[in-house]
């Protein structure tokens, strides 16, 4: 028996103490609309930066963690997939926040439809520089070495990295940083699905694709600023919600 309650998807909130209005919008979302969902999937970049789970006691991070746990206590299951900003989130933050960590990519049956979930950055294969950095920082040996540094030093390094990445992005053509059509088709093919949901590019849209003669749909989640967005999925299909109060 399928639940009639929708499943909600969000990504790219980029929560940071520097942008309290977005954090407050997300807290209201967790206390309100998210409670009508059977499950909430956060598909990466929940936080704008994550230096390691030993930063979970930071008041801002702890506040978000507590609000997530409250949502889970109210009956909405929460799944978290890491993005390129918060891939160092682990179970020391995840367990008390009641997050079930899921791999990128993951295929889940959502309201009767096998659905491929990704953060989305692995689809951006045209950006070779980005993919090289990604391969480095996702390497377990690199992560062990990085996490062995003092927290304060990690925060400084992340801030430097963030500034370099913003500068690099401003010099790159718009198309270079979007998903690559062959990578998208390969993902549909490899996972044998006709529905995909991802974020990362901040280019909220529904795209229709034909892969090997099969009609496929790809939903791209947008990022959160003064307003937010979520994709609601139930047995009738998918629709985008604007979160603005």
Interacting residues with Mn ion (CB under 5 A)? 45, 83-84, 200
Task: Considering the complex, state which of residue 6 and residue 199 has its C-beta at the smaller distance from Mn ion.
Answer: 199
- Please state the φ and ψ torsions of residue 46, each to the nearest 5 degrees: -65, -45
122's CB contacts (< 8 A; 6+ apart) are: 104, 105, 134, 183
Task: Considering the complex, state which of residue 85 and residue 98 has its C-beta at the smaller distance from Mn ion.
Answer: 85
CB of 41 to Mn ion, least distance (A): 15
Degrees to nearest 5, angle at CA 136 with 130 and 140: 140
CB 137, CB 86: distance < 8 Å: no
CA 122 – CA 120 distance, rounded (Å) = 6
CA 156 – CA 19 distance, rounded (Å) = 19
Full strand arrangement of the beta sheet holding 106-110: 106-110, 113-117, 195-198, 214-220, 205-211
CB of 86 to Mn ion, least distance (A): 9
- Nearest residue to Mn ion, by Cβ distance, number only: 200
CB of 201 to Mn ion, least distance (A): 8
Task: Considering the complex, state which of residue 98 and residue 200 has its C-beta at the smaller distance from Mn ion.
Answer: 200
CB of 120 to Mn ion, least distance (A): 7
Task: Considering the complex, state which of residue 195 and residue 198 has its C-beta at the smaller distance from Mn ion.
Answer: 198
Q: How far is CA 162 from CA 29, 85, 174, 212, 214, in A?
A: 27, 9, 19, 39, 40
| Residue indicated by tokens 């795209």 | 207
Task: Considering the complex, state which of residue 14 and residue 56 has its C-beta at the smaller distance from Mn ion.
Answer: 14
Task: Considering the complex, state which of residue 129 and residue 153 has its C-beta at the smaller distance from Mn ion.
Answer: 129
SS3 201: coil
CB of 237 to Mn ion, least distance (A): 26
Name the nearest CA neighbour of 117 among 224, 13, 211, 7: 7
């Amino acid at each position: 028996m399928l639940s009639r309650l929708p499943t909600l998807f969000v990504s790219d909130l980029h929560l940071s103490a520097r942008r309290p209005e977005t954090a407050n919008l997300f807290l209201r979302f967790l206390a309100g609309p998210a409670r009508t969902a059977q499950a909430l999937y956060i598909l990466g970049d929940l936080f704008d930066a994550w230096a390691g789970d030993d930063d979970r006691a930071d008041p801002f991070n702890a506040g978000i963690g507590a609000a997530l746990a409250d949502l889970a206590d109210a009956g909405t299951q929460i799944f978290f997939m890491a993005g390129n900003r918060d891939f160092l989130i682990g179970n020391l933050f995840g367990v008390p926040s009641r997050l079930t960590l899921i791999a990128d990519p993951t295929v889940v049956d959502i309201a009767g439809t096998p659905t491929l979930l990704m953060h989305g950055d692995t689809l951006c294969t045209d950006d070779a520089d980005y993919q090289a950095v990604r391969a480095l920082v996702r390497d377990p040996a690199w992560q062990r070495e990085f996490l062995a540094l003092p927290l304060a030093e990690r925060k400084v390094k992340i801030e430097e990295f963030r500034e370099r990445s913003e500068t690099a992005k401003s010099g790159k053509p718009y198309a270079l940083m979007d998903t690559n059509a062959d990578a998208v088709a390969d993902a549909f093919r490899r996972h044998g699905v006709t529905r995909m949901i991802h974020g990362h590019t901040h280019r909220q849209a529904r795209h229709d694709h034909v892969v090997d003669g099969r009609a496929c749909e790809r939903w791209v989640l947008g990022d959160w600023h003064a307003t937010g967005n979520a994709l609601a999925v139930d047995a009738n299909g998918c629709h985008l919600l604007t979160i603005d109060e």
